Amino acid sequence: MSQPSSAPASTGSARPRVVVLDYGSGNVRSAVRMLERVGADVELTADRERALAADGLLVPGVGNFHACVDGLRAVDGEYLVEMRLAGGRPVLGICVGMQVMFETSTEPSASGPREGLGQWPGVVDRLPAQVVPHMGWNTVDVPAGSALFAGVEDERFYFVHSFAAQDWTLQPTPPFDAVAPLVTYAEHGARFVAAVENGPLWATQFHPEKSGDAGARLLRNWLDVL
C-alpha cells in the first residue's frame, strides 16, 4: 500500500480550531494528539460556547451506545450537534460517536434503551459475525467523489466494535437529492456502514486516530473542509 502524507493541513495563516467534545467517553487523548499532528489547534472541552464557535466539532465515542447518549445529553451534546449542523458547521463523529447519530441501537443497556440523536434514520445492530468485536484492520469500499477518503481510498483502517448500522435508509428528497450522502461500507460478518459524508456531518465507524498515516490523512482531509 502507498504511504499517504501526514503533513499538517494547508490552511493559510491560521490553524483550524477543533473542539473534541469532552463528555466522559473513554480515552480521547489519541484523537487530540492526532488532530494536533495534522494541523489543528485542539481543545478538549464540553464548554457550550467554545463547541459552537469552533471551526470543527469532533464527537468521540467508546463503549456502550446508550451510555454515550446519556453522556452527550448531560453536556447538551445533542443541542450542540443540532445547532452546528443547522448552521452548516462541520461535525465529525468517530466510532460510537457515529452510531449515536442514528435513531437507536439494539445494544443491551442496564439502565434501559435510549434514543440516539436521530440525525439519520436507522438502527445500530450487533454484527452477525462468528467473532466479535470486529477488532483490527480492514479495507473499506469508498464511493466515487469522496472528499473524506481522498488519497486513502485503498488503505486499511482500524476498527474496534461489535455493533454497526447495517442498512442506510436515508433517501434525500428534492431539492436535496442532488447532494445525496456518500456512504462508505466495510464487511465483517455482514456489510455495514463504515463512514458517511452528509453535508456538514461526517462520521467514521473506525478510529482514524488509531489508523496510522492513513488515518492522519483522513483527518487532514476533514480539516481541509473547515
Residue 11 included in any domain: no
Residue 161 included in any domain: yes
Domain that holds residue 126: 17-224
Residue 12 included in any domain: no
Per-residue cell: 46: 464540553
Per-residue pLDDT for the chain (226 aa), expressed as one digit of tens each? 444 444 444 444 489 999 999 999 877 999 999 999 999 999 999 999 999 999 999 999 999 999 999 999 999 999 999 999 999 999 999 999 999 999 999 999 988 788 999 999 999 999 999 999 999 999 999 999 999 999 999 999 999 999 999 999 998 776 656 578 999 999 999 999 999 999 999 999 999 999 999 999 999 999 999 9
Is 59:97 a contact under the CB 8 Å cutoff? yes
Residue 10 included in any domain: no
Q: What is the CATH number of the domain that holds 189?
A: 3.40.50.880
Into how many domains does the chain fold?
1
Q: Which residues are catalytic?
A: 95, 207, 209
Residue 211 included in any domain: yes
Residue 3 included in any domain: no
Residue with cell 448500522: 165
Q: Is 56 helix (H, G, I), strand (E, B) or coil?
A: strand
Residue 86 included in any domain: yes
CA distance 114 to 125: 14
Cα 57 to its chain centre, rounded Å, is: 10
Give pTM, 2 decimals.
0.92
CA distance 115 to 113: 7
Residue 96 included in any domain: yes
| Maximum Cα–Cα distance across the chain | 50
Q: Is 193 helix (H, G, I), strand (E, B) or coil?
A: strand
